[in-house]
């Protein structure tokens, strides 16, 4: 059975929980569209996160890799379109590193597009009444770093393997601490990730519809 690798992040920025890992962890061992789901926790640390990711890819030889991270303040599941070759950290990572205007990988392309069927995923999520949009920026912190590193690595070493990134909102218990921030229940996030995986495995190509993009 083919593997699908799904990664989540440890908490960062002084927070106690990261919704990405809460949503990703329960997927371990699930079977979706004939594939076996393997999960991996990434540290919220520049460069080290990519070492963990590449080691998991080499170990599991997945047919698909989806990385997931927290996007506090967003209300929807954000299916990211693009990763850019820049680190510009607003806050330090979990080891205190705060790169400003430094390429993720030197002498590499300016950007990579997700190779997931992003419009199809958003379409299916909305069909399932899960708020979701295509997002045009994964930021410039560790999530964009991981998305860029993932797509570069796949491009260089596993060009037939698809990969991409999904941001999830805060969990309700986090949002209580950040006044008026939107949130989503973990059950809905888990359902969303399952739909995204299945939509990708069942669709080699994307569909040409408007993505309902807001950012
Ligand atoms: N979110 C951060 C990094 C880790 C995470 O879950 C980001 O959006 O860059």
Low-confidence spans in the chain with pLDDT less than 50: 214-215
Ligand 1 atom 7, closest CA: 143
Query: Is the C-beta atom of 170 inside 6 A of ligand 1?
Result: no
In the chain, what are the domain boundaries?
3-202
Both tokens of 169, joined, read 């909102």
Which candidate in 22, 80, 124, 145 is catalytic? 80
Query: Is the C-beta atom of 139 inside 6 A of ligand 1?
Result: yes
pLDDT of residue 63: 98
What's the gap in Å between 70 CA and the centre of ligand 1?
A: 5
3-202: CATH topology = Aminopeptidase (3.40.630)
pLDDT of residue 212: 57
What's the gap in Å between 1 CA and the centre of ligand 1?
A: 31
Query: Is the C-beta atom of 142 inside 6 A of ligand 1?
Result: yes
pLDDT digits (tens, 9 = 90+) for 120-165: 999 999 999 999 999 999 999 999 999 999 999 999 999 999 999 9
pLDDT digits (tens, 9 = 90+) for 20-30: 999 999 999 99
pLDDT of residue 215: 44
pLDDT of residue 178: 76
Ligand 1 atom 1, closest CA: 70
Task: Reply yes or no on whether 80 is catalytic.
Answer: yes
Report the share of the chain in percent with pLDDT over 90.
92
Task: Reply yes or no on whether 127 is catalytic.
Answer: no
pLDDT of residue 188: 98
pLDDT of residue 211: 59
């Amino acid at each position: 059975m083919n593997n699908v690798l799904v990664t989540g992040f440890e908490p960062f920025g002084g927070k106690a929980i990261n919704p990405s890992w809460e949503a990703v962890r329960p997927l371990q061992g699930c079977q979706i569209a004939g594939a076996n789901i393997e999960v991996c926790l990434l540290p919220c640390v520049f460069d080290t996160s990519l070492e963990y990711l590449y080691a998991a890819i080499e170990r599991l030889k997945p047919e698909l890799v989806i990385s997931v991270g927290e996007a506090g303040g967003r209300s929807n599941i954000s299916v990211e379109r693009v990763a850019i070759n820049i680190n510009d950290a607003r806050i330090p990572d979990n080891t205190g590193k705060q790169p400003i205007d430094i390429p993720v990988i030197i002498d590499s392309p300016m950007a990579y597009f997700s190779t997931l069927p992003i419009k199809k995923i958003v379409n299916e999520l909305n069909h399932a009444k899960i708020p979701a949009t295509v997002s045009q920026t994964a930021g410039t912190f560790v999530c964009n770093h991981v998305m860029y590193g993932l797509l570069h690595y796949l491009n260089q070493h596993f060009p037939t393997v698809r990969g991409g990134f999904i941001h999830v909102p805060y969990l309700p218990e986090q949002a209580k601490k950040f006044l008026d921030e939107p949130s989503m229940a973990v059950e809905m996030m888990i359902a969303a990730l399952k739909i995204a995986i299945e939509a990708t495995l069942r669709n080699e190509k994307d569909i040409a519809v408007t993505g309902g993009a807001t950012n």
